[in-house]
Amino acid sequence: MSFKAITWSWLGDALNILCIFPGMSKLVNDNAHMLIRLQEKGAKLVIVTGKSMGLKGKGNLLAYEDMDGIKIHRLYENPQEMFLFPDRQLSRILEIAVGLKPDLIFCDQELNMRLAVLIQKSVKKPIILMVEDAGRILAGEFYDSYKTRIAMLLFGIPSGPKFWSWLCEKANALITCNPRDQQNLELLSKHNKPVFYLPWPSYIPKDLEYESTRENGVGIYIGSLYPFKNTQEFEITLPLILEKSQTNKFVVVGSGPQALMIKKLKDKYGEAISYIDHLPRTEALRLISSSYYAYSPVKIGGWGFIGDCWSMRTPLVMTHNDNYVINSVNALVAKDENDLVSNINRLYEDTNLYQKLQTNGYAEYEKRKADVVGDKLYNILTKVL
């Protein structure tokens, strides 16, 4: 009998998972379809999350939603409330848990561990924690602001490199989504807790209508406009792109404090810059598919946009590489602002390079399809149990 068969004979007919996410909607979240895949494989999921769309758009989502059979309870206003005041909705969550009878608690995002630990005290089931970048948490690169360190201290949570050790102590197993961490899983393991790697998922809606042609002179960026995304770089690079490359229009989609800077550039360059504060996911994908190339200034993360460009076969130019792409194979990584312009012009001048980036990018997307990643997650969860 296989390991999986033995596991399921012990668990019964279904794997019941109580999920904690900072936000969840298949309209905006790539990883929603990873969870839907788990549901398709026979698992039963219930998600506890917040109403706010956060960096994904404006406004709030409905307090309750049935997402392809997955019950989503948006009990908190936003991720901040989930971290600062997790006990506010604890009694309601425990009521949900009684009905679900979970086999495990699947916690997404390290700051949600406060809530997961509170739930575990009553539910008595293992916690599997998924983070985007375990290596940087271990290195103490995150949550280093004075206010955050004080808040963590007040809640009995260590900051700096000790935070990762605390997470390993509280969780039964951990998952990191940063490909750089693949080589360091043993180093990341603390308190004898297993650490797994899971790629960030990408998803193309089945009913997506691709644009029939690409707009030859159009570049695009889709993502939030915050300093941690390094989008302040646009103030220097967008004028260079419009003045020195073969780009005649650049589209920026996203919200955040640096939208004001984009609007000022638009005042200067007119219709050469198009700004949209947010779009539904299907419309964003169509816009990527119609653009000649995409450009990302992001230093850390930004994997959703990279995956979307790969899935739409839209060549990607970057100014920073977080060990996620391979330069000149599935993306172009510039050395500086002037090299960025040169790389964009290469896309117009070298047809073979353009097609190579399209082919190799799509091959990367196929490794990260939501169904593929969902299957890998399913195997991790059953292995842990």
Which residues of the chain fall short of a pLDDT of 50?
1-12
Q: Are residues 11 and 140 located together in one domain of the fold?
A: yes
Same domain? 80 vs 34: yes
Q: Which two tokens stand for residue 144?
A: 């280093």
16: part of which helix (H) or strand (E)? strand 16-20
Q: Say yes or no: 21 and 98 in one domain.
A: yes
Q: How many domains does the chain have?
A: 2
User: The CATH number of the domain where 293 resides is what?
Assistant: 3.40.50.2000
pLDDT by residue (tens digit) across 290-311? 999 999 999 988 889 999 999 9
Q: What is the distance between the alpha carbons of residues 24 and 32, in angstroms, rounded to a whole number?
A: 7
Over residues 92-149, the pLDDT tens digits come to: 999 999 999 999 999 999 999 999 999 999 999 999 999 999 999 999 988 877 888 8
Do 196 and 220 belong to one domain?
Answer: no
Q: What is the model's pLDDT at position 282?
A: 87
Same domain, 224 and 197: no
What is the pTM (predicted TM-score) of this model?
0.89
Query: Do 127 and 18 share a structural domain?
Result: yes
Let me know whether 245 and 265 are in one domain. Answer: yes
Say which amino acid occupies 331.
A
Residue 171 lies in a domain: yes
Residue 221, in any domain of the structure: yes
360 assigned to some structural domain:
yes
Residues 350 and 375 in one domain: no
In a domain, 300, yes or no: yes
- In the chain, which residue ranges form alpha helices assigned H by DSSP? 3-11, 32-40, 79-84, 90-100, 113-123, 134-138, 146-154, 162-170, 185-188, 234-244, 259-269, 281-290, 303-311, 337-349, 351-367, 370-384
Token pair recorded at residue 212: 């029939």
Domain contains 207: no
H helices then E strands: how many in the chain? 16, 14
pLDDT of residue 293: 98
Is 192 domain-assigned?
yes
Residues 144 and 195 grouped into a single domain: yes
Q: Buried b vs exposed e over 39-53: b needs ≥16 C-beta within 10 Å?
A: beeebbbbbbbbbbb
User: What are the strands of the beta sheet with 316-318, ordered from one edge?
Assistant: 273-276, 249-253, 215-222, 291-296, 316-318, 332-333
Kindly state whether residues 20 and 42 are assigned to the same domain: yes
Task: Check whether residue 293 and residue 224 sit in a common domain.
Answer: yes
Same domain, 179 and 71: yes
Residue 81 confidence (pLDDT): 95
pLDDT at 195: 98
Query: CB of 317 within 8 A of CB of 325?
Result: no
Which range of residues forms the domain containing residue 363?
215-367
